[in-house]
């Protein structure tokens, strides 16, 4: 994975979510319309912020590995990042189920 790819992915994800949010608000389905939509905007938006932060930290960690190698303190940071990233995966399964699957009823 190249740095250009890492720059492209969050940009496209943000553009996609932003476009989806703007389209929903334009149709009158904004966060103030219902509790479900308020939860939708909060959950999906918060998840997007965490993913973007994680991708930024991933680039930072890649730079650290290149500059310092796999020293013990760098390995510990990689382990902490790994736990954070996989926690996001688990949370996204719950958010996806709640918002997209149960919300489609």
Angstrom distance (rounded) from CA 28 to CA 7: 32
Asked if pLDDT for residue 95 goes beyond 80, the answer is: no
Asked if pLDDT for residue 33 goes beyond 60, the answer is: yes
Map residue 91 onto helix, strand or coil. helix
Asked if pLDDT for residue 62 goes beyond 60, the answer is: yes
Asked if pLDDT for residue 79 goes beyond 90, the answer is: yes
pLDDT tens digits along 36-51 = 888 888 888 887 888 8
pTM: predicted TM-score of the whole model, two decimal places = 0.64
The full DSSP string for 60-90 is HHHHHHHHH-S-HHHHHHHHHHHHHHHHHHH
Q: Write down the pLDDT at residue 88.
A: 82
Asked if pLDDT for residue 72 goes beyond 90, the answer is: yes
């Amino acid at each position: 994975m190249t740095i250009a790819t890492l720059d492209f992915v969050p940009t496209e994800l943000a553009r996609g979510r932003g476009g989806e949010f703007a389209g929903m608000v334009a149709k009158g389905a904004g966060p103030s319309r219902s509790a479900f939509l308020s939860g939708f905007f909060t959950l999906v938006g918060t998840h997007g912020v965490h993913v973007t932060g994680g991708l930024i930290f991933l680039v930072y960690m890649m730079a650290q590995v290149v500059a310092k190698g796999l020293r013990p303190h760098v390995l510990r940071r990689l382990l902490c990042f790994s736990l954070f990233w996989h926690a996001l995966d688990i949370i996204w399964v719950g958010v996806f189920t709640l918002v997209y699957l149960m919300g489609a009823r």
